[in-house]
Amino acid sequence: MSGATPRKPVYLAVYDTLADWETGYATAHLARAGHEIRTVGASTTPVTSVGGLRVQPDLALADVRPEGGALLILPGADLWDTTDDLAPFARTARAFLDAGTPVAAICGATAGLAREGLLDDRAHTSAVSFYLAATGYAGGDRYVDADAVTDGDLITAGPTEPVAFAREILRLLGVYEGEVLDAWYRLFHDSDAEAYAVLEKAAAR
């Protein structure tokens, strides 16, 4: 029996102190669009977010392969700046990008990618330029002062831009585009009531 090719899952990295607010818009709307979200930890041991949420990872990082996923999302976490514990996630991001599988990093995860050398030759953003400069990376001239930046298969954003981060992810995976994507952003970022009508019209098609 023939049918549509199943979508590859979206991998959401989870670790202690992860910033709860940074990926919720993206994962919620990806899931509503039919994308499976699979959480990935250093192991399958439960982790606790900065907001106190306990998360049981679906997979261990060692079991994740770039060809098996549609996207790797790396949220921020205090641990990105206080230990080297999350360096394996940055190395996994390198493997994904080398394989042509997209990566989306926000907040502290951008510093992890900077330390891994993944921002040296790609346009990117973060909280502020000097935050990344403190990592000693060589990509300062590629820093863009924007809410979120997409360069090829890499998306980056700062900690105060979860909606823009989600917008770039939804665009990259083809969930929304054009005026519908713009309306989605205006609704959730600006509380623009007129944008709701555009989304309702698109949903009715």
The residues carrying an active-site annotation are 107
**Rounded distance, CA 137 to CA 154, Å?**
17
**Alpha-carbon distance 7 to 34, whole Å?**
8
Q: Where are the beta strands (DSSP E) in the chain?
A: 10-13, 37-41, 47-48, 54-55, 59-60, 71-74, 103-106, 148-151, 154-157
Q: What is the rounded distance in angstroms from the CA atom of residue 144 to the CA atom of residue 149? A: 7
Please tell me the distance from the alpha carbon of residue 108 to that of residue 18, in angstroms, as a whole number: 9
